[in-house]
Every structure is written in C-alpha cells, then in structure tokens.
Amino acid sequence: MNLTANIAGFNFDHILLNAAGVVCQTSDELDSVLASDYTGAVVTKSATPSLRPGNVSPRYHELTNGLGTINSMGLPNEGFAYYMDYVTQKQTDKPIFFSVAGLSKQENLDMLHKIEESKFNGLVELNLSCPNVPGKPQTAYDFETTEEILTEVFSFFTKPLGVKLPPYFDIVHFDNIANILNKFPLAFVNAINSIGNGLVIDEETDTVVIKPKGGFGGVGGPIVKATALANVRALRQRLSPTIKMIGTGGVTSGRDVYEHVLCGADLVEVGSQLAIEGISVFERLEKELTAILTEKGYNSLDEVRGQLKIIE
Ligand code: RRO
C-alpha cells in the first residue's frame, strides 16, 4: 500500500506523526517518534526563546469514557536552543518539523531569523494557536495580526514553513483566514490545534479537572473530530493547491485517519490518542488504515485524498 506524501519536496513514507506537544518535549521522546516504523516524520514541542516550565499542575486530564482530553500545559518546553541542537544534529531519513511559538511577534521573528541563518534543513511549523498562556490570545483568531506576522516572516524567511491553526467555526472565518494564507508561499497549513478554553467538571467533586485558568483548557480527542474534519475540508477547498494540508484532531482509529485524508489531508497527526496509548498507536492506526484501503480496492492514498462525496 502506498501511504506516501510530499510537502515542499520532502518525502514522507508514512502518513502519521505526532501532534506538536505530545511525546516531543525531550530528545528521548522525539527519538521515540522517529524510531517508530510507522511514522513519516516528527514535530517538536513548540519552542519559545527560553526554557519554560509551563503552567501549574494538574494541567492535563483524560475525560472518562474516552471522549477526549483537556490540557493547559502553558507551553512547557526546553527552550529554542535545545530544539535547534536536536533538529540540526539528528541523523534521520525522516523530515523534522521544528515548531515555534513565540509569545510575541518579535519572539517569533527572532527565532525564525535564527532558523533561517542555521543549517536546519527541515520544515518549520509556526504555532499561531496556543490557547493556554494566560493573558495571550490565540494569534490566528486575530486576522490582521496574522497577516502582519506572515508579511514580516516572508520578507526574509526562505525555508519551508507552515502554520498551525486553531479551529474556526464559521464559514466567513474559513473564507477570511484562507484569503490571508493564500497571499503567502506557505508549504503547509495544519488544522486544528485543540479547541481552546473548554471546561470539564469532575462529577464526584463538582470541581474543574485542571488548575490553570480556573479550569479552562484546550480540548482534544474524539469530541473535536467533527470540527477538525470541517476545518481540513474547508481549508482544502479554499487554499491554493501549492499549500499542503496536515490534518490533526480526533484521530483514534484508522477510519479517522481515512476521513482526514478524504477531507484533503496530506499528513495526519495524532495528539490525545498518542498521549493515551503511546508510540504503538502508529502501528495500530496504519494497519487499520491499510485494511480499509485494501477493502475498498485502493492502492494509494492519492486515490482517496480530497475525494469526500457530498449529497447533490
Ligand atoms: O502547551 C500548551 O498548553 C499547548 C499548546 Br503550546 C498548544 O499549541 N496547544 C495546546 O493544546 N496546548
């Protein structure tokens, strides 16, 4: 079965990888994603210029009944230099996505200048959608600022770069963000980050389940799948064909991967379910996906990509 994809000249032998933030904060975790025979790439935890411990705990919770997860990690990461060392020194055949999430435009520009000047030869994912830093809004909900940042970035940045977006919930917002993104030579767009600022309450104690921000946090897992698919589909329909799509959100089965591809995803990332199940999730998902493709008589994911049917 051909499960390959290509983004900006990089070949991916498998469609799956981790979602930024999950099993990718330390070099050992990054190594474990790369070492899987069923991943096509790895993405780093979003880096800030300096090391951050993140928010207070408890800051991550798995909902009962497997509905999903809520997190308010608050961008804990080892700092830009740590990931720069990792991504420039790692010997691997798989492409590496270097995720960055500055807390201001200037922090993003400073990190991207350093990447531009470095020998890094992978892809960069600019995270414009972290919902969990107190006092910092999700950048990509501010269309003007998003356009301003990308204008400055592409005034000097020449390496393959994509953006990680928050979920959008209105057709006019799909139109607006796509119009802006189409103005830039983006390598890819990744949809979606967690659904920001959800609230989960513990039944026994009538208490929120995470401590930061009074219990508000980013929601992932099966409960966000419909929103994730809608964002992948809506953006695929609106973005220039030169901009590839990464689908993230609600992937717990091979069928979920298949549906992301139907909506137009070139690669598919696993977040909550990777946190819950561990690295072996990639083997299970790829085998389930292959079984579906075989049963339907396909030889390649290219035959499926974007082929979602609608009711005329
Ligand atoms: O670290 C986090 O709290 C976090 C980030 Br940066 C993000 O982009 N998405 C998320 O759900 N959590």
Question: What percentage of the chain has pLDDT greater than the value 90?
Answer: 99
Pocket mutation for ligand 1, best pick of 55, 69, 132 (most atoms within 8 Å of C-beta): 132
Inter-residue contact 77 to 45 (CB < 8 Å):
yes
pLDDT band at 139 (very low <50, low <70, confident <90, very high): very high
Block residue for tokens 């009944």: 65
Look at the chain and report how many structural domains it folds into: 1
Q: In degrees, to the nearest 5, what angle opens at C-alpha 191 toward C-alphas 186 and 197?
A: 130
15/13 Cα distance (integer angstroms): 7
Between β-strands 16-18 and 267-270, what pairing exists: parallel, antiparallel or unpaired?
Answer: parallel
Range of the domain at 135: 5-54+75-194+220-303
pLDDT given for residue 148 in this prediction: 98
Closest CA to 165 of 146, 183, 187, 144: 146
Q: Is residue 69 part of a domain?
A: no
Q: Does residue 124 sit within a domain?
A: yes
Query: What is the pLDDT, as a whole number, of residue 221?
Result: 98
Nearest CA residue ID for atom 7, ligand 1? 130
- Residue 304: count of CB within 10 angstroms of its CB: 17
Q: What span, in angstroms and rounded, lies between the C-alpha atoms of 265 and 261?
A: 4
Residue 70 lies in a domain: no
CB 15 within 8 A of CB 261: yes
Task: Note whether residue 208 is domain-resident.
Answer: no
ipTM associated with this complex:
0.99
Whats the size of the chain, residue-wise? 312
Quick check: is 137 in a domain? yes
Q: How many whole angstroms separate alpha carbon 199 and alpha carbon 70? A: 8
Q: What is the pLDDT of residues 233-253, one digit of tens each?
A: 999 999 999 999 999 999 999
263 is catalytic: no
pLDDT tens, residue by residue, 211-241: 999 999 999 999 999 999 999 999 999 999 9
Q: DSSP 3-state assignment of 217?
A: strand
What mean pLDDT do residues 262-266 have? 98
Distances (CA, A) of 91 to 27, 28, 45, 130, 163: 13, 14, 19, 29, 25
Residue 310 lies in a domain: no
CATH number at residue 90: 3.20.20.70
> How confident is residue 254, by pLDDT bands cut at 50, 70 and 90?
very high
Report the pLDDT averaged over residues 285-310: 98
Q: How far is the CA of 296 from the centre of ligand 1 (A)?
A: 36
Residue from 19, 130, 229, 293 carrying the catalytic annotation: 130
The rounded Å distance from CA 57 to ligand 1 centre is 14
Residue 222 is predicted with a pLDDT of 98
Ligand 1 site residues (CB inside 6 A) read: 21, 46, 71-75, 101, 127, 129-130, 132, 193-194, 218
Tell me what the pLDDT averaged over the chain comes to.
Answer: 98
For 75-116, write each residue's pLDDT tens digit.
Answer: 999 999 999 999 999 999 999 999 999 999 999 999 999 999
The tokens for 240 are 């220039």
Is residue 252 domain-resident? yes
Verify cis geometry, omega within 30 degrees of 0, for the bond prior to 192.
Answer: yes
**Per-residue pLDDT, 187:** 99
Average pLDDT over residues 129-154: 97
Predicted confidence at residue 220, as pLDDT, reads 98
Mean pLDDT of 172-190: 99
Residue-wise pLDDT for 7-60, tens only, equals 999 999 999 999 999 999 999 999 999 999 999 999 999 999 999 999 999 999
Calpha distance 48→242 (Å, rounded): 29
119-134 pLDDT, tens per residue? 999 999 999 999 999 9
Composition of the chain by helix, strand, coil, percent to 5: 35, 20, 45
292 CA → ligand 1 middle, Å: 32
CA angle 10, 302, 179 (to 5 degrees): 70
Give domain status of residue 60, yes or no: no
Convert 200-231 to b/e letters by CB count within 10 Å (16 or more is b).
Answer: beeeeeeebbbebbebbbbbbbbbbbebbbbb
Q: Which residues of 79-94 are buried (b: 16+ CB within 10 A; e: fewer)?
A: ebebbbebbeeeeeeb
